[in-house]
Copies of this chain bind each other. A is one copy, B any other.
């Protein structure tokens, strides 16, 4: 494969990712959750199952723990998350989603599903599933970098 082909593939991938991010963002806003930025989505994803510490979150997002702490401040202030004492480590705090945080997560899922459905209309359901499988196989495991 030539370099220019690889570049075209890369450009398409980044364009699709950028468009998807914006679609999800708009969809979340349209569902009444204000003051949420795309970066929060990645935090929500990490907090969703059982909560996480600020340090976990920082590693997941690939930022400093100070930045992660500020992000949590903001999410707490806006009612999406709360800090609880950590059950096993008195230094740490467990950050968990509030009911509003869960609702926002569901809104993001709906918005994502909406965008993906449009891909289904263009490519067919079968191709979209194939796309998903391929992406899962090449997805990196390290921290997610929400900012370029």
Instruction: Spell out A's residues near B (CB within 8 Å).
Output: 1-22, 24, 37-39, 42, 45, 106, 108-110, 112-113, 115-120, 122-123, 125, 127-132, 134-140, 142, 144-148
Contact = CB atoms under 8 A, between A and B. Distances in A.
A125 to B, nearest CB: 7
B145 A21 contact: yes
Nearest to A21: B148
A16 B17 CA distance: 9
Of A109, A112, A138, A139, the most chain B CB neighbours within 10 A belong to A138
Given A6-B116, A38-B148, A140-B19, A12 B109 contact: no
A138 B119 contact: yes
Contacts of A38: 148
Nearest to A131: B134
Contacts of A146: 18, 148
Given A8-B136, A122-B137, 4 more contacts: A1-B125, A4-B109, A10-B115, A38-B148
B8 A132 contact: yes
29 contacts: A1-B120, A1-B128, A1-B129, A3-B109, A3-B112, A3-B113, A4-B109, A7-B108, A7-B112, A9-B116, A9-B128, A10-B20, A11-B45, A11-B139, A13-B17, A15-B139, A16-B139, A17-B17, A17-B18, A19-B140, A122-B138, A123-B137, A123-B138, A130-B130, A131-B131, A131-B134, A131-B135, A147-B148, A148-B148
